[in-house]
Amino acid sequence: MNGQKDFNALCSSISGHKYIAIDTESNSLYAYKERLCLMQISSETINAVVDMLAVNLKPMLPIFANPQIEKIFHSADSDIRVFKATAKCRFVNIFDTMVASKYLGLERCGLDSLVNRYFGISLNKKFQKADWGRRPLTRDMLDYAAGDTQYLKRLRDIMRKELDENGKLAEAEGQFAHICGVEPHPPHFDENGFITLRGARQLNGRGLAVLRELYLARENVAVRRDMPPFKIISEDLMLRLSVAPREALEHLPLFKGVSSYVLANYGAWIREAVKNGLTAPEFKPPRREQDFEKKIYMNAVRERFQAMKKWRKAVALRRNMLPEAVLDNVSLEKLAFAQPHTLEDIQKIKGISAEKIAVYGDSLLEFFRGHRIRN
């Protein structure tokens, strides 16, 4: 489906439905800034693929926010972030089959694995990493996209029943409500991000200066060409050039990763960046001073975090769930720092739902009584 008029009519027709199954396709592997390219929708009587590069999302926003219409996703977190990056919107009443599978203790949580497990059908994943921003899309790509939402309602019905029978439905629904509130990750380029690249800390000051120039130049090229930076040149290649910058200037084609394409399209700015790095002041990473008592405290927090992961694993095993369905790592970190004394203390920690506190609150307090450290 394409054209705003058709999309408006589609939104009008599903506004009275009890549910819609939704999936999206984006172009994060092919563009500097990810864009929503396709939206697939299935409901009681509709199975549609919408070209989101050709329409405005606005008519869909009331449906997202309508509590009377259940929105069924597989991995809603990523889809909702893409929607919110596209338009200001609010989500209410979702069901996430990936999250549900983790609460049910299923090790293989991909949609293809779930469809195969419950229905004995093998989904075609040929276009999983396709460029969905290209136009026109092939018939095979459109058929692939349309297939991803066809099974979500049936999966939802089966999994909701299993969650209910296992006493996990309220907890899972609390997680669904939390996912409704996720926000898109704001675009941000850290000019000193090169320091965090694997192997960067092993370079000397001159090598770091070269790496910095390559890192900044690559970003500029990525923006100009509207491509992800990793598709310009790899981090490994930048590190190899930074280890031997003078050799890079004289014998660039001999370096692993410098193909004829790279040499023809990027050779000039690579050489310029290496040259700039050789004449720039040596780069010295900032040292983070930390007093002795704070270091001791942080080590204790890290030890408690690891102990909490063991607690989570034991709880997950007992409840036949995947560990991340009990509490995610971010929540564990917040708890490790807060070391709560009471249920009220846990309630103050953002991101831990009332349903989680009801299920795990007493167990958490018992854990902290045995893992208390002084601030």
In this predicted structure, what is the pLDDT of residue 1? 54
Whose CA is closest to 127, among 22, 25, 242, 213? 25
In this predicted structure, what is the pLDDT of residue 292? 72
Give the end of a domain, one of 250, 279, 308: 279
Same domain for 160 and 231? no
In this predicted structure, what is the pLDDT of residue 300? 86
In this predicted structure, what is the pLDDT of residue 372? 66
Phi, psi for 23 (deg, rounded to 5): -140, 160
Strand pairing partners for 42?
Answer: 21, 47
Same domain for 248 and 132? no
**Helices marked H in the chain:** 4-14, 61-65, 76-86, 97-103, 111-119, 139-147, 152-165, 169-180, 205-225, 235-243, 245-251, 260-279, 292-319, 323-326, 329-338, 343-347, 354-369
Give the end of a domain, one of 148, 180, 212: 180
Same domain for 157 and 103? yes
243 vs 335: CA distance, rounded Å: 42
Distances 327 to 58, 110, 264, 305, 323 between C-alpha atoms, Å:
34, 20, 49, 12, 7
Whose CA is closest to 337, among 367, 362, 305? 305
Same domain for 145 and 266? no
Same domain for 260 and 297? no
In this predicted structure, what is the pLDDT of residue 186? 84
Give the end of a domain, one of 251, 279, 307: 279
The answer to whether the peptide bond before residue 62 is cis (omega within 30 degrees of 0) is no
The residue ranges of the chain whose pLDDT is under 50 are 375
Same domain for 17 and 160? yes
Q: Locate 145 and state its tokens.
A: 């996209």
Interior angle at CA 118, CA 116 and CA 119, nearest 5:
65
Number of domains in the chain: 3
In this predicted structure, what is the pLDDT of residue 374? 54
DSSP string, 295-363: HHHHHHHHHHHHHHHHHHHHHHHHHT--HHHH--HHHHHHHHHH--SSHHHHHTSTT--HHHHHHHHHH
195 vs 208: CA distance, rounded Å: 8
Strand pairing partners for 26?
Answer: 36
Residue 375 lies inside a defined structural domain of this protein: no
Q: What radius of gyration do the chain's Cα atoms show?
A: 25
Residue 186 lies inside a defined structural domain of this protein: no
Residue 301 lies inside a defined structural domain of this protein: yes
In this predicted structure, what is the pLDDT of residue 169? 97
Same domain for 296 and 352? yes
Same domain for 272 and 307? no
Same domain for 94 and 64? yes
Q: Which CATH number does the domain housing residue 273 bear?
A: 1.10.150.80
275 vs 169: CA distance, rounded Å: 60
In this predicted structure, what is the pLDDT of residue 288? 63
Task: Give residue-wise pLDDT tens across range 161-219.
Answer: 999 999 999 999 999 999 999 999 888 899 999 999 999 999 999 999 999 999 999 99
Domain that holds residue 252: 193-279
Same domain for 111 and 230? no
Q: Three-state DSSP class for 72?
A: strand
pTM confidence score: 0.89
